[in-house]
Structure 1
């Protein structure tokens, strides 16, 4: 009979949730779509966390000057711009970034039909494709981003053969059946292998995916243990091979 107290159980649940959130942020930053938000109201973290779960990394700056710097650094899939952002005029900012590509630009507004209508109209004329209300709601923003020329959904959903991994739902399905209670490390391992499939993922890259940049990272035997467990969960739907001296690869079972 378990003697674990409700408090200990709750603490463990909170720790797991925090670990999953940290993982999703790391995933979105390294392999996800990039969204640049230029808005002086600042980020309280809620939007960044919600979008990370959808495979989108949010870079938030408060001026168009900083926006130009981050645009060049991140090459974002989409740009969300508030019409009251300080620096160069927002419409001029849109014109400047569109001269260096065709990002999907969304104008943010408190009331686009009211006092801000002229500023929002100027952004539309400059090249903005949509308008979203502030404060930003992740589901509405995701719906708009789904229509961007550069697909964002692919960063939340991966599919290799019969295996479908969805970061938004934190789920893995094999032949349509969900793998229940998949541990976080095995989820991270599968995601890393699927991103590169059928290519090889090195041991160092797997350590980065599973343990980040922590100084005390385990060796190859621990990775091999997680690979063995993952193989059994996939029930032969894919082959996870050890490539000696290089790393691991995942390929769908041809049968």
Structure 2
């Protein structure tokens, strides 16, 4: 894998975890790196839990848009786990099905699950299923502000329908962060967290300003990246 591919993959995981949708999978048997990566490319961060007790902790921590639960997961019974979540947030719950255990799904469905997914899990199947939920996930991979369209899964930016040359990774991250908040303000600290992650790697404001200047040149006059002194930056359409 090339350095660029590794960097893009790392970026997809980071922004999915920080700003994307969350999918909680509560299953004692399956934890798939390939599924996590495929969902991250769609703007969905997958959190795995091997017991329903851990699942409740992760549910409280992340407030996921959707939860997949295998009926045989140890801990509190799966139907009680679903009922507990429903009392606090009513997420979109999907029961994981193995044909040999089809009868086990009934109790989970009666407790509040809305759909069934077969195992082994498939990213396209999950994506299609979750986009039927009351909180569809597709918006997290694709962001549109005025004439600017950014697709993180395809690592693509288009202006007025025309794809522009691929942005360097930091400028791509910068543009997406600004678009998610547009026309609101993103603080310097929020930009550092989105672009560089951990505190010991965060650069000075001069480095952010340098990337902003370069981004302005790449997007031309369709939008303006404004500096609001003492607060941060905002993206506004001209």
TM-score, normalised relative to structure 2: 0.95
Check 1:68–1:246 CA distance in 2 against 1; reply closer, same or farther (3 A cut).
same
> Residues 108-187 of structure 1 correspond to what in structure 2 (within 5 A)?
108-111=96-99, 115-187=100-172
Gaps of 5+ in 2: none
CA–CA separation in structure 1 for the residues paired with 2:85 and 2:97: 20
8 Å CA contact 1:42–1:61 kept in 2: the answer is no
Residue by residue over 1:86-145, the C-alpha shift from the partner in whole angstroms, topping out at 9 and shown as x without a partner, is: 11111221122112221111111222xxx3121112222221111111111111100001
How many residues matched? 238
SS of the residue corresponding to residue 2 of structure 2 reads helix
Gaps of 5+ in 1: 1-12
SS of the residue corresponding to residue 167 of structure 2 reads coil
Asked whether 1:208 is paired with 2:193, we answer yes
SS of the residue corresponding to residue 200 of structure 2 reads coil
Asked whether 1:30 is paired with 2:18, we answer yes
Structure 1 residue 214 displacement after superposition? 5.1
Structure 1 residue 44 displacement after superposition? 3.2
8 Å CA contact 2:157–2:166 kept in 1: the answer is no
Which of the numbers 223, 227, 230 marks the counterpart of 1:242? 227
CA–CA separation in structure 1 for the residues paired with 2:84 and 2:231: 44
Asked whether 1:91 is paired with 2:72, we answer no
CA–CA separation in structure 1 for the residues paired with 2:32 and 2:138: 24
Aligned to 2:210: 225
Q: Which runs of 4+ in 1 moved over 3 A?
A: none
- Cα RMSD (Å) of the superposition? 1.4
Asked whether 1:65 is paired with 2:53, we answer yes
Aligned to 1:3: none
Structure 1 residue 49 displacement after superposition? 1.3
TM-score, normalised relative to structure 1: 0.89
8 Å CA contact 2:188–2:233 kept in 1: the answer is yes
Structure 1 residue 149 displacement after superposition? 0.6
8 Å CA contact 1:40–1:62 kept in 2: the answer is yes
8 Å CA contact 1:132–1:141 kept in 2: the answer is yes
CA–CA separation in structure 1 for the residues paired with 2:213 and 2:202: 19
